[in-house]
Amino acid sequence: MSKKLLSLVALGLVSGAVLAQAAPETTLTYNAGVVTDYRYRGITQSRNEAAVQGGVDYAHKSGFYVGAWASTIKWIADYSYSGGAGARTGTDISGNLELDIYGGYKFDLAKDLTMDVGFLRYQYQGNTLEMTGGTARSAYGNANTNEVYAAITMGPVTAKYSYSLGDLFGYIDSKGSGYLDISANFEVIPSWTVTPHVGRQNVTAASYNASYNDMALTVTKDLGKGLSASLGYYGTSAEKSNYSSTFDGKYLGERGAVLGVKYNF
């Protein structure tokens, strides 16, 4: 072997070692965005109005991760009104911010088969939803909710189940409620992704009649340099009598489109 060839081999080995050492043990990313309507599990959280959102994620190469995400909301404070005509009840219900805190572990089960298990806390900052009072169906408890979840991803398809450890989003006696959703991500052409989704929210508190199905179809365009834009279409089978705004009477699970812009950095 010539000296020149030996030098090239040695250089390749050194370069490979440097690259291996340069691989990060952890990653820290941030995101910020705005949407024309904040939909969660098909139900508008912002009364069909715009919401500002942002979050931070920390991940270790071992598979462990933690993160936090926040959004402006309207549905809790809207319980300060009744009758759907903007009439105040005389009781000020507060809670204009949702803060999600989560952590979990992702690992491979087999080739192209990944498992994700974790915990998610929905913290509605300063919420006083329990002050609604009223009958069993119109009364609510604290909106803060704890869930555990498990998800399996095979190729582009993910199936996920979330289980509430206590009352779900203020529904009294709804411990053990569950949400099953199936979604997929398809890059149909470079920088364009299509995401179909179907879900089933089961609420164990029978007096509310709050269980329903939801669906969504979202198209996302990667604009480069961390910026993306999305257009989604949402719909649900939620009962209008149970999912109507106490502020203006509008159906919170109505079919509709949502535009969004997001920046990852």
Whether 83 has a pLDDT exceeding 90, the answer reads no
Classify the phi-psi angles of 79: left when phi > 0, otherwise alpha if psi is within -120 to 50, otherwise beta. alpha
Domain of residue 85 covers 28-264
Q: Which residues of 188-216 are buried (b: 16+ CB within 10 A; e: fewer)?
A: eeeeebebebebbbbbbbeebebbbebbb
This prediction has a pTM of 0.90
The pLDDT tens digits for 3-52 are 444 444 444 444 444 444 566 899 999 999 999 999 999 999 999 999 99
The pLDDT value recorded for residue 136 is: 55
Domain count, the chain: 1
Q: Identify whether 75 is part of a domain.
A: yes
What contacts 85, CB < 8 A, 6 or more positions away?
A: 248, 249
Domain-embedded: residue 17? no
User: Tell me, what amino acid is at 130?
Assistant: E
Residue 69 lies in a domain: yes
Q: Please list the alpha-helical segments (H only) found in the chain.
A: 3-22
How high is the pLDDT of residue 24?
Answer: 86
Residue 15 lies in a domain: no
CA dist 135 → 13, 14, 190, 208 (Å): 73, 72, 54, 11
Residue type at 216 in one-letter notation = A
- Residue 260 scores a pLDDT above 80: yes
Determine what percent of the chain is predicted with pLDDT higher than 70: 89
Does a structural domain hold residue 14?
A: no
Is residue 121 assigned to a domain?
A: yes
Phi–psi pair at 80, nearest 5 degrees: -75, -10
Report, as an integer, the average pLDDT of 89-111.
Answer: 96
**Does 84 fall in a domain?**
yes
Which residues, in sequence order, are bridge partners of residue 44? 39
* CATH number, residue 45: 2.40.160.40
What value does the mean pLDDT take over residues 137-150?
Answer: 92
Res 134: pLDDT: 64
182-193 pLDDT tens trace:
999 999 999 999
16 assigned to some structural domain: no
DSSP for residue 22 = H
